Amino acid sequence: MREAQARRVRLRRILALVTLASTIVLGAIGWWTHNEVEQSMRATRGAALKSVLDSQAQSLRVWIDDQKLSVGRLARDPQLRAQVSTATRDAGAAATTYCTSAQARDLTAQLAEALAGAGTVAFNVILPSGRIVASNFTEYCGLRYRPAAFTRDIAPAFEGETVFVPPHHDAANLERTPQALPLDRPLIWIRTPIRNDADDVIAALGVGYFADEQFSAMLATARAGETDEVYTFDREGVMLSKSRFENALWERTALPSGASEVGRLVLRSPNTEESARTRLVEAALASRSEKDDTSGMLLDPYAGYLATPVVGGWRRLTQDDMFIAIEMSADEAYAPLEALDTVFAVVFAALIAAVCVALFSWFTAVLIRAEVEKDRMGPYWLGERIGEGGVGNVYHARHDLLKRPSAVKLLKPTRATDEMTARFRREAKLASQLTHPNMIEIFDYGVGIDGTLFYAMELLEGDTVGDLVLREGPMPVARVVHILRQVCAGLAEAHGKGLVHRDISMTNIMACFYGGEYDFVKILDFGLVKSVAGDQSQTVTRSVRILGTPQYMAPERLHDPADVDVRADVYSVGAVAFFLLSGRRMFETEDTLALTSRVINEVPPRLSETAAQRIPPELDELVAACLEKKRESRPAGILAVKEVLDRIAERYSWSQSDAKAAWDAIHQKPTD
């Protein structure tokens, strides 16, 4: 009995030791797992914040560069330079008198007209003395900038530099303000030099924008959660863009209700001693002495400018003058950690239950991700299908971060042979080399998570010329000449780079509303584009097959699909012109074999004899020349075609008013 009792005691001790050892091991594993997952979550959150920050910083840089280019072009206008030369000669010390002169009114009127509709709020012309001699606000004309403000914000323009001046209240920079000034909101200024005929800088042109409108609106597009915010601040820690939490600021700070925080609010942590600037601002400002330290992430919670714990990051935007930052409440950023603590407790209490929960959670997460990602292709979210071809489908899409509408073309899985995959890749690569406005722009190329090839391109608003003719009938001569000139201009770039489109047809030419213009032409579908330059002239097609639209295909392509040069596109342009002007195909037959025989052997009818409208003789001759069976008899290149079209356009002009009327006639019609 004693031996049995001793065995039970030993077993209890062994069980206790095993339990203790298991508890220690499980505790160590749980602590290690918790720590690793927490660090992984922090790293993931940091990467997401940095991605948004980098994207917004790039957007701001692009916007700033665009404004610099626009203002710089205006400053180089000869008439403006001549008027400013007069201002520098006549104004002198009597700038106030000059401001009321007819010359000053003419200068102001010219600037107002040039900047109309550009989103500008204010403009001024400043002499080397710092005096304003022209402004769209008469209250500013004749005032002088303080020396410190002139040296910081305006002097670089007199050294020949176009500069971006971060948001500030402009009235504080003027030596005297005898009356209330109309602009009490902070402005962004673009300053650029104005030169005389001797190329000497004689004045500085400034164009101003409200900081709490377009500038702040760009930052607001990055908000995805409940508390995340992107904002900018200057080297003094003063906020330069609108806060997402204006109401809270009015309650927690000395800002009067309704007042803008832009240019007024120093980013301090309200609950810290002496209200020191926030940790993020201090880190950013400290980096000004480091050339390479241009950004940073703070993933340990700290007190933000509303005193709530936040995490965030910053990046230097323009030298030492302005920074862009992103912040999110720590609770929202690390909300998943609360669930992790619960899981850790469950793991420590019951290993089997924890493993089951973990596996179930993982499996559920995989299913949710698969459900979410089914409508995603790389960085693009796919919408409705807007087009279908033999090789690929085209979808309406939107970029995940830029929110830019796009069209995404996917290679059909059923057509993903080695040959078609190579052709699809080649189509995206060669098309992306073309930058002419009349060529559709390729944004991106990639492979989806399921292995599907895709490329993204600009989303266009308009109709193919084929649809227009089928719906409305033949086009007038002036409109056809207008469209074909643009087709030739786009093809000229391609031919100059040794590329032949090989599929110019009524379905691959689109008349768009683009960049504010009607009947702006875009050439589509580079699936058959061929390089005839150097040693890249080989074809992707491994067998001799006819690919393309036979109605618009040059005869030599039907003889030998690989034997083409730029004159094949010249033929196609002529065939398109025939269809647009007559509303009929050159050879009316539904049988492909018969059509091929007629294209090779029959002389097409003259356009002037087929079209119901009168065709100018010069245009009739041009179309006939383009449709010659022997390519040696056609115009030598697409520019030769364009030159003839340019001459015809002098007599048959197609204005934007004409184009808009044609557009409205189609798009305002009720659909059946």
For residues 50-79, b (16+ Cβ closer than 10 Å) or e, as one string? Answer: bebbbbbbebbeebbeebbebbeebbebee
Q: Is the pLDDT of residue 344 over 90?
A: no
Q: Is the pLDDT of residue 246 over 90?
A: no
The string of DSSP letters for 642-658 reads: HHHHHHHHTTS---HHH
Higher pLDDT, 577 or 116: 577
Q: Is the pLDDT of residue 412 over 90?
A: no
What distance in Å separates the CA atoms of residue 69 and residue 190, rounded to the nearest whole number?
A: 10
What distance in Å separates the CA atoms of residue 384 and residue 386, rounded to the nearest whole number?
A: 6
pLDDT at position 32 is: 76
CATH number at 379-458:
3.30.200.20
Q: Which residues contact 444 (CB under 8 A, 6 or more apart)?
A: 378, 379, 380, 455, 456
Q: Is the pLDDT of residue 352 over 60?
A: no
Higher pLDDT, 106 or 436: 436
What distance in Å separates the CA atoms of residue 592 and residue 594, rounded to the nearest whole number?
A: 5
pLDDT at position 239 is: 85
pLDDT at position 6 is: 45
pLDDT at position 90 is: 63
Per-residue confidence at 541, pLDDT binned at 50, 70, 90?
very low
pLDDT at position 543 is: 37
Mean per-residue pLDDT over the chain, rounded: 82
For residues 623-650, b (16+ Cβ closer than 10 Å) or e, as one string? Answer: bbbbbbbebeebbebbbbbbebbeebbe
pLDDT at position 204 is: 94
Sign of CA dihedral 402, 403, 409, 412: positive
What distance in Å separates the CA atoms of residue 217 and residue 210, rounded to the nearest whole number?
A: 11
Higher pLDDT, 87 or 56: 56
Per-residue confidence at 181, pLDDT binned at 50, 70, 90?
confident
Q: How many residues does the chain have?
A: 672
Q: Which residues are catalytic?
A: 503
Per-residue confidence at 274, pLDDT binned at 50, 70, 90?
low
Per-residue confidence at 341, pLDDT binned at 50, 70, 90?
low
Q: Is the pLDDT of residue 621 over 60?
A: yes
CATH number at 76-210:
3.30.450.20
What distance in Å separates the CA atoms of residue 454 and residue 38, rounded to the nearest whole number?
A: 35
Higher pLDDT, 495 or 217: 495
Per-residue confidence at 15, pLDDT binned at 50, 70, 90?
low
Find the DSSP H helices in 315-409.
330-333, 336-349, 351-373
What distance in Å separates the CA atoms of residue 249 and residue 211, rounded to the nearest whole number?
A: 18
pLDDT at position 539 is: 46
Q: Is the pLDDT of residue 537 over 60?
A: no
pLDDT at position 39 is: 82
Count of CA atoms in the C-beta half-sphere (13 A) of 625: 16
pLDDT at position 584 is: 92
479 residue type, one letter: R
Higher pLDDT, 365 or 657: 657
Backbone angles phi, psi at 447, to 5 degrees: -130, 130
Find the DSSP H helices in 497-530.
none
Q: Is the pLDDT of residue 425 over 80?
A: yes
pLDDT at position 172 is: 79
Q: Quote the percentage of the chain above a pLDDT of 90.
A: 33
DSSP state letter for 390: S
Per-residue confidence at 258, pLDDT binned at 50, 70, 90?
low
Q: What is the pLDDT of residues 546-592, one digit of tens each?
A: 445 688 999 988 888 777 899 999 999 999 999 999 999 998 887 78
Give the fold, CATH level 3, of 462-667: Transferase(Phosphotransferase); domain 1 (1.10.510)
In this structure, are residues 231 and 243 in contact, taking their beta carbons and an 8 Å threshold? Answer: yes
- Is residue 527 classed as helix, strand or coil in its secondary structure? coil
In this structure, are residues 123 and 111 in contact, taking their beta carbons and an 8 Å threshold? Answer: yes
Q: Is the pLDDT of residue 19 over 80?
A: no
What distance in Å separates the CA atoms of residue 156 and residue 348, rounded to the nearest whole number?
A: 65
pLDDT at position 292 is: 63
pLDDT at position 542 is: 38
What distance in Å separates the CA atoms of residue 523 and residue 107, rounded to the nearest whole number?
A: 42
Mean pLDDT of 32-41: 78
pLDDT at position 617 is: 95
Higher pLDDT, 377 or 171: 377
Pick the CATH number of 214-333 from 3.30.450, 2.60.40, 1.20.1150, 3.30.110: 3.30.450
Q: What is the pLDDT of residues 286-329, one digit of tens each?
A: 887 776 668 899 999 998 888 889 999 999 886 657 899 999 99
Mean pLDDT of 341-369: 57
Most trustworthy range by pLDDT among 265-269, 356-360, 595-599? 595-599
Mean pLDDT of 261-279: 74
pLDDT at position 544 is: 35
State pTM to two decimals: 0.47
Per-residue confidence at 634, pLDDT binned at 50, 70, 90?
very high
Q: Is the pLDDT of residue 645 over 70?
A: yes
What distance in Å separates the CA atoms of residue 292 and residue 56, rounded to the nearest whole number?
A: 20
Q: Quote the percentage of the chain above a pLDDT of 70.
A: 81
In this structure, are residues 275 and 254 in contact, taking their beta carbons and an 8 Å threshold? Answer: no
What distance in Å separates the CA atoms of residue 521 and residue 532, rounded to the nearest whole number?
A: 25
Q: Is the pLDDT of residue 603 over 50?
A: yes
Among 5-14, 297-306, 597-606, the least confident range: 5-14
Q: Which of 574, 570, 440, 552 is nearest to 505 (CA)?
A: 552
Q: Is the pLDDT of residue 270 over 50?
A: yes
Cα-Cα end-to-end distance for the chain: 100
